[in-house]
């Protein structure tokens, strides 16, 4: 029996996943907040957490919608 590759077996380099980029930005933002706090800046941590999580959620939604749109167009 020979195995012939199907189109699903072919891997293409699509770049980093949206979730990876968003979580990388969240970790970077947390690092900036820690550095700013250590430097003496006064930051409302509750508000900063709300803004950070809301921004990450919006970015994940937009990224997933954009990826779904690209996948939909590539099938046509």
How big is the chain, counted in residues? 76
Is residue 10 pLDDT above 60, yes or no?
A: no
Q: Which has more confidence, 74 or 31? A: 31
Q: Please state whether the predicted TM-score (pTM) of the whole model is above 0.75.
A: no
CB 56 within 8 A of CB 25: yes
Q: What is the mean pLDDT of the chain?
A: 85
Q: What is the pLDDT of residue 24?
A: 93
When pLDDT is cut at 50, 70 and 90, the band that residue 9 belongs to is: low
Q: Where are the alpha helices (DSSP H) in 8-76?
A: 18-38, 45-75
Q: State how far the Cα of 63 lies from the Cα of 1, in Å rounded to an integer.
A: 41
């Amino acid at each position: 029996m020979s195995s012939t590759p199907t189109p699903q077996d072919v891997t293409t380099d699509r770049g980093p996943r949206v979730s990876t980029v968003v979580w990388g930005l969240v970790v970077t933002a947390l690092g900036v907040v820690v550095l700013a706090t250590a430097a003496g800046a006064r930051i409302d941590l509750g508000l900063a957490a709300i803004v950070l999580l809301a921004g990450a959620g919006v970015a994940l939604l937009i990224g997933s919608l954009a990826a779904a749109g690209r996948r939909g167009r590539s099938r046509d």
